[in-house]
Amino acid sequence: MALFYHFQPHAYTVSMDFSTRYANLNANQRSAVDKIHGPLLVIAGPGTGKTELLSMRAAHILRQTDTLPSNILCLTFTDSGAVNMRQRLQQIIGEDAYKVAIHTFHSFGSEIINTNRQYFFHGADRQPTDELTQQQILQEIFEAMSWDNPLNVKNNDEFIYLKETLKTISAFKSNGLTSEEIQHILDDVERTITEISEAITQLFQTTIKKSTIPAFANVAEIAASITPQPLPAAITPYANVLALSMANAAQEALENDSTKPITAWKNAWCKKNATGGFVLKDSESITKLRAVTHVYDQYRSALAQRGLFDYDDMILNVLDACKHQPDLRANLQEQYQFIMVDEFQDTNLAQLQLLFNLTGDEPEPNIMAVGDDDQAIFSFQGANVGNIQRFRQHYHDPAVIVLTDNYRSAEQILTTARSVITQGSDRLENTIPDLSKQLTPHASSSDATVKLSRFMTLLDERAGVAKQIAELIASGTPPEEIAVISRRHHELIELLPHLYQNNISVNYEHHDDILELDSIKALELLARIVISLHNNDLTTANSLLPELLAHPAFGFAATDIWKLSLAAWCNRQFWLEAMLAQTTFEPLAQWLLGQAKNVPNLTLEEHIDELLGLTETATNRSLYTYYFSPEKLQSDPEAYLTTLEALRTLRQKLRDHYTEATPTLTQLLQFIDLHHLTKTRLTSIRPAAEHKSGSINLMTAHKSKGLEFSHVFIIGATDNIWGEKVRARSRLIRYPANLQLQPAGNNYDERLRLFFVAMTRAKQTLHLSHSLTDTGGKDNLIASFLSSLELETSTIETPEATDATESLLTDWRAKLTEPHDGVLQEVLAPILQHYKLSATHLNNFLDVSHGGPQGFLLNNLLHFPQAKSPSAAYGTAVHACLQQLHDIFVADGKLPPRPEIMRLYAQTLAAQHLSPDDTKLFTEKGQSVLTAFLDAKQSSFTQQQLTELSFANQNAFIGQAHLTGSLDLVDVDKTEKTIYVTDYKTGKPSHSWKGTSDYEKIKLHKYRQQLMFYQLLVKSSRDYGNFTFTGACLQFVEPDIKTGDILSLEDTFSEEELAEFARLVGIVWRKITTLDLPDVSGYSADYKGMLQFEKDLLTGDI
């Protein structure tokens, strides 16, 4: 780099402290400080004093050259790291430390943009966006998608690809790739797959055998012969990656005379298509990724229109400007003549490209990178440990200095930690000849220990670790010198109650979502009811009032709420109407109506105060008395202050988000909805406090980076948490083999590094622990990388360990489903006297994932109102339209013209009263779905079919159980006395009865039981009991997203299975009619829990 400023050396006063500090450096540190010219790679292990090194080197540059402080650039990864570096530098060189450019990468990008606006956004002023706005923009893009877009897939009314799309866009940006470049890469992949696909399919048409080996090698040669296309830097052509993988498999197969390598390659690279032929898996990723690139363009355009840029843009925009604005690139190269980068292992490819731009074509640039491949643990944020090697390659084997003197940990700890980390494969010691990272301890080892404790159960481990910590504190150890480190937050959360039982105070910086606080949820609930009433949306208000009345702040008895619900149901009233007619509830109903009337007249601030009763003039102060009264402050000051802080945060975040106008009560709900919809946490704006003395420290291994403690406990050291048996999360959006942008954070090497980081936080003692069994009683194996170590091990039994975990949140329904000494029987007697069991009621009773018997009580017996989701409303509209079409066909022998069918569908959809956006979406979707369905199934319509066949008056009994139901479509042959049942389903079609997700398994299990119920219903009915039940099927209305086929699922049931199911129906009937509603809180709220509940009902264990 050329020097443009000419001053005499030593022009900047350097504190006398420099000489003292310099003398205290070890030989390798001094070497790194002294080598100020040319590229330098410093490999700094844990506890080796790299922060001091960076500060001293900056001071040394000022001492030895005529460089201005502003010509030195120091880059790190955290704000705290930048502050720490500046503070150290200030101690050495005084006020000039504030002139040195010390930044995080992103603050540096922001600084470049702010000081060089003429090169960015055509000179327009843009502001950084927040996470919520990012999610909001993506939400709007997804809502505007055509229904057949591969990314437009919903589950429980949530776009399942939305968050993954944002992560993918972030990955593109952090790797410095534009949407155009991604399209070029995908073109290359698609072209290669097109050229090779026929050969792949033919190759695996038959079973793999010895003769497949030469044929496989021939296909590998075909792949190698495909001409590569020019691609962005660091991206290898797909054909090269494919050919190399095949060549390696072919070579291994030939050398070992075995087909196993080819089978392994096929399993890794291929899948069966719809016709049963094998194709490359990457073929299916192309369509989704192309859709993502279109979203990428729309997203960046939306940011620009709003005058915003996001976190990743700070680097990407600078790279783009450097590429197209040579003046800017030259100015930056002149400005920053000495560059130092801390935590280099955490850089991503875009950040690396930025460094390359800053150093330009200078053959020997003055750049130092400090990092440690063994501490590369942030790949989930886009970090790429391979950048250390790229640094060496780009700067042509720069000088390498290794810091190995450790001033933190005792010898025993370092020895154990090295035994762990050397089991990794992706390490510099394995690739750089003669490189040794063996750490030399300089800390006292007199009382140092490394211990492994084994406990019988997870509960024992939590209780045992808490006891060990209590004993350590009792022996005189300062609590702030103790840390408990885990891989994940939930392991720490489950430990907390046991620590509290031992009166151990904790520092734990895990910020809760304030929107989940009971007080904020109560405010939200009130606001929703008020806005619904203001909009005359009594249906929505109806679905929300039960939760409000059950809130303890209002003090209503459960029996009064039951009676209110039944009165509203019997009189076909909305709850608000019933409330106005009862003296118990009438004052609250009038207050709610008054609040609804006030919506246009109050600001949001005023309305929040009114709803919470925070002003003296408030007419209802129920929530104030419950959350903010002086008595609450006295009895639970922590909860009181938490609620106040949450309310302050909510107000401030609303002001920040709605900057152009005073927010309204409606916007409060939109703000909350957006957080819920995008799963964006809203955390307290209060800054994290310094770790207070007298408290131990709880943190994840990622959070522990850069910290040190005398005593460290690493919990849950099992193979399924840290080791080889960790299940990798499957990606919804996959990258082709030559575009490996996904983080490697869940691979074995990174987990090994993460454990190494946790271990090397310890100065004096290191306590490792694990349980021998998990919560389900299955055996737990110790993490594989610990199994071969010789550790001081003890097996500890804690015979009376009890689960101290308490639920911090109680569902509002609990109050309404608790036993009430026969009052419930009295209230429900008229209902139960004429009760009939339907398939829906049976499934609701059994579905422990949605409350089981307790949910059934509220929704199906007490008839608490429920809101209908847009997807459910769409399903109702499609069912209604199909029913009308069948009725028309029965009457006329033909269906009406398609335009008339679409008009009928529009009418049935309009009856659902959806929002304009949902109406537009489901109009388009319904028309497309009905067109595809009728094209495939119109020929199956007959004049003998019956629709919505009701069995309400068929006197269908199974033992004492009185059954009822309404069947979508029934084919009745009165001559042959046969009956066949079809049940229409509008959700995602299934190819088999085996679901992949837990949600799907529960859904399909309930569908199957529904068909069995229909068979019992028909066989026990008055008019159809003598008919032969020839079968039943689920008929999916929507086409399969991949093949476009209209699918159906059919099943037959053995006599034994039907008999057992009939017995289950009888048991559930007795439970319902006697109000013997089992408590299912002990069952897991999933498919496994549902099956176990059914089993226990059949065996009489509950």
Planar angle of CA 901, 902, 908, nearest 5 degrees: 90
Q: The sheet that has 1048-1051: what strands, in order across it? A: 945-950, 966-973, 978-985, 1028-1036, 1048-1051
Q: Which helix (H) or strand (E) holds 472?
A: helix 458-474
Give, in order, the Cα–Cα distances in Å from 1036 to each of 879, 932, 933, 966. Answer: 11, 11, 9, 18
Question: What is the rounded distance in angstroms from the CA atom of residue 134 to the CA atom of residue 302?
Answer: 10
Here the tokens at position 604 are 């949001």
710 backbone dihedrals φ, ψ, rounded to 5°: -65, -40
Q: How close are the terminal C-alpha atoms of the chain, in Å?
A: 79
Is 441 annotated in a binding site? The answer is: no
**Pick from 424, 448, 451: nearest CA to 437:** 424
Which residue in 793, 791, 789, 785 sits closest to 726, CA to CA? 785
Q: What is the DSSP letter of 117?
A: G
Q: Has 51 been labeled as part of a binding site? A: yes
Distance CA 488, CA 486 (A): 6
Known binder of ligand: residue 44?
Answer: yes
User: 326 and 332 in contact (C-beta within 8 Å)?
Assistant: no
H helix runs in 834-897, sequence order: 839-846, 852-856, 870-892
Is residue 849 within 8 Å of residue 1090, measured between CB atoms? yes
Specify the residue for token string 């920040």: 656
Helices (H), 129-211: 131-143, 162-174, 179-203
User: Which of these, 273, 284, 277, lies nearest to 202 by C-alpha position?
Assistant: 277
CA dist., res. 165 & res. 151, Å (int):
9
Q: Rounded to whole angstroms, how far apart are CA atoms 386 and 409?
A: 28
What CA–CA distance (Å, rounded) separates 180 from 834?
Answer: 67
SS3 state at 63: helix
Rounded CA-CA distance 544/565 in Å is 12
Q: How many CA atoms lie within 13 A of 250 on its CB side?
A: 18
636 is written with which tokens?
A: 């639970």
Retrieve residue 160's tokens.
């399942």
**What SS3 class is residue 852?**
helix
Q: Which residues contact 347 (CB under 8 A, 6 or more apart)?
A: 105, 341, 355, 383, 384, 387
Q: Is 48 annotated as a binding residue?
A: yes
Q: Are 1058 and 1018 in contact (CB under 8 A)?
A: no
Phi and psi torsions of 883, nearest 5°: -60, -45
SS3 per residue for 1052-1066: CCCHHHHHHHHHHHH
CA angle at 258 for the pair 253 and 262, rounded to the nearest 5°: 55
Write out the two tokens for 1067. Answer: 């048991």
Binding residues, as ranges, are 44-51
Binding residues for ATP, as ranges, are 44-51
